[in-house]
Amino acid sequence: MMINIFELGRRMQDVTGDKGVLKEVIRAGSGEMVLPDSSVLVKYSGYLEFMDKPFDTNCHRKIPRLMKLGKDITLGGMEAGLLTMKKGELARFLFEPSYAYGVLGCPPLIPPNATVLFEMELLDFLDSAESDTFFSLTAEQQDTFPLEKVLKVADTEREFGNYLFRQKRFMDARERYKRAALIVCRRPASDAEQSKIDAAKLLVYLNLSLTYLKLERPSRALTYGKRALEIDKRNAKALFRCGQACLSMTEYEKARDFLVKAQKEQPFNHDINNELKKLICLLLLIPLKMRYW
Beta bridge partners of 113: none
Q: What confidence score (pLDDT) does residue 102 get?
A: 94
Q: At residue 90, does pLDDT exceed 90?
A: yes
Q: What confidence score (pLDDT) does residue 1 get?
A: 56
Which pLDDT band, with edges at 50, 70 and 90, does 293 fall under? very low
Q: At residue 288, does pLDDT exceed 70?
A: no
Q: Whole-prediction pTM value? A: 0.75
Give the C-alpha separation, 217 to 226, whole Å.
15
Q: What confidence score (pLDDT) does residue 258 get?
A: 96
Which residues have C-beta within 8 Å of that of residue 190, sequence separation ≥ 6? none
Which residues have C-beta within 8 Å of that of residue 194, sequence separation ≥ 6? none
Give percent above pLDDT 70 in the chain. Answer: 95
Q: At residue 147, does pLDDT exceed 90?
A: no
| CB distance 4 to 49 below 8 Å | yes
Mean pLDDT, all residues of the chain = 90
Q: At residue 5, does pLDDT exceed 70?
A: no
| CB distance 62 to 2 below 8 Å | no
252-265 helix and 236-248 helix, angle to the nearest 10 degrees: 160
Q: What confidence score (pLDDT) does residue 52 get?
A: 81
Q: What confidence score (pLDDT) does residue 292 get?
A: 37
Q: What confidence score (pLDDT) does residue 289 get?
A: 45
